[in-house]
Amino acid sequence: MEPLVGGSPETSMSPETVTTALETETNDRILTFIRPTDTGNVKANSTSGPSSSNSSAADLIACSEDLLTEIFLRLPVISLIQLTSVSKQWNLFIKSSSFCLLRNPNPDPPSGLFFEGWDARYKYHYVPLDFGNLVNRPPFTTLRFDSGSIKILQSCNGLLLCANDFQKYYVYNPTTNRFTTLPQLNNFNPDGICCMTLAFDSSKSSHYKVVCNYMYRVMMIEIYSSESGKWKISNESTDDLVDLDRGVYGHNAIHWMSFPNRLVYLKLDSEQLHYIDIDTPDTTVYGTILDEFLAESREGMLLVVRCCRFRRLNVYEIKKDYSEWSIKYHVDLEEVIRVYPSMLTRLGLHFMVQSLVLGGREEDSFIVLELPGKLIQYKFVVNTISQLRDFTTESRRCVHGGFFPKTIFQLSDFTRENRRFINGSCFHFIPSLAGV
């Protein structure tokens, strides 16, 4: 596990800054207990009077893991990262696997998105979401580990799976600014193509797995475990119809879409592949689904299907036992079209689903849509739209970028620019204490 060059969130905050951060999250009484200047001078302040009782309380908390646990569990992850610089004891305690499991009984919702940028290859824009998080500045814009530029391949519950141009793969925690380099596959082929998927659930384990699909005479699967630090060749293999670039982790399985209208999933405990037909009204009435989006839900997996004929998205859910599909949401896009009429062209609706987030309450659920040159958040239950980012001004500065931009902001008609419409890539940022 290695830190990135340029400093990390752990060392960027002074004790005074930590104290200020705590004051916004808890009350003054607790603030005086855990102020670093108090805990560092307990013996010096052991005289009689009020300072003596305060020092005794600070000493009690500093030495009691139970009390520290009760306090730290009430703080956001970003504040906990800042507190790791207070003392060696707190640093070890906060980063311990036992505390991390207590802190994340359920994965937090994303507090932001990393969106692949216009102005340079492998540059990422940080787009905050409205969860009241403490991250006001981008954790990074570009990544450089040991060699070459780094591309994000996938995000999973606070960790990022990344790769450079030389087929080296990394798992990176942007909150702690730590990364690890994955070892070579057992059947490594420098000229081959690997499709990697990250699997991590902090509520179940402090360890993660990476599933790799590649061609070695036949399509093969290898599974990496952070617990063993090794790749293991699986007895299973996928067929050529599986969309291996878009694997999604959920409920201890990796899920892929397969043509035509099949869901393929690999159970990580048994390491067995399963195939299930997608039996929904969209497949029955309209035939093959050509544009879809997979996401995890609390009860199973969600499948978002574009239904442009009716200008809506249909969101289906399949339970954890994969028994049946049911409709969960009809997301009406008419309000979005009214606010952003340029997404409607003679060729249909121009948008991409970049994220689907289910809130603690139904009215907090939303989707993130990429429109021409914009990212918007649509809370479809309460029918509210918020613009997260406008890339129009940024795109004008990169006319000599040497590559096709990720989105084209002029899509009012079928012009030469419109033919270069390529969807961008968004990755969730979830503050996490997970080790890599």
Q: What is the pTM of this model?
A: 0.77
β-pairing, 262-267 vs 2-3, is unpaired
CA 197 to chain centre: 13
pLDDT attached to residue 397? 45
Q: Digits of tens for pLDDT over the chain (436 positions)? A: 665 543 343 333 333 333 333 333 333 333 333 444 343 443 444 444 555 555 566 566 556 777 888 888 878 777 787 788 788 888 888 877 778 777 766 667 788 888 886 555 677 888 888 655 555 566 777 787 776 788 899 999 999 999 988 888 999 999 888 899 999 999 877 777 889 999 999 888 889 999 999 887 778 899 999 999 999 999 988 877 788 888 999 999 999 988 777 899 999 999 999 998 887 767 665 555 556 789 998 889 999 988 766 788 889 999 889 988 888 988 888 989 999 998 887 777 888 888 888 887 888 889 999 888 788 999 988 989 999 888 776 554 443 332 233 333 333 333 333 333 334 688 999 888 888 8
Residue 10: φ, ψ to 5°? -70, -30
Contact 181, 161 (CB under 8 A): no
CA 290 to chain centre: 25
Residue 83: φ, ψ to 5°? -75, -15
Q: Show Cβ contacts of residue 233 under 8 Å, excluding neighbours closer than 6 positions.
A: 186, 187, 220, 221, 222
Helix, strand, coil percentages in the chain from 3-state DSSP, rounded to 5: 20, 30, 45
Of residues 77, 89, 76, 79, the one with CA closest to residue 39: 89
Q: Calculate ∠ Cα 125-145-210, nearest 5°.
A: 85
Of residues 223, 222, 224, 220, the one with CA closest to residue 242: 220
pLDDT attached to residue 33? 38
Contact 113, 129 (CB under 8 A): yes
Q: Supply 201's token pair.
A: 């659930």
Contact 164, 136 (CB under 8 A): no
Contact 78, 432 (CB under 8 A): no
Q: How far is CA 385 from CA 33, 48, 89, 323, in A?
A: 43, 59, 45, 34
């809370």: which residue's tokens?
379
Q: How far is CA 188 from CA 147, 244, 260, 402, 428, in A?
A: 19, 18, 30, 31, 29
What pLDDT, in 10s, does the model give residues 340-376?
A: 998 887 777 888 888 888 887 888 889 999 888 788 9
pLDDT attached to residue 393? 64
β-pairing, 374-379 vs 366-371, is antiparallel
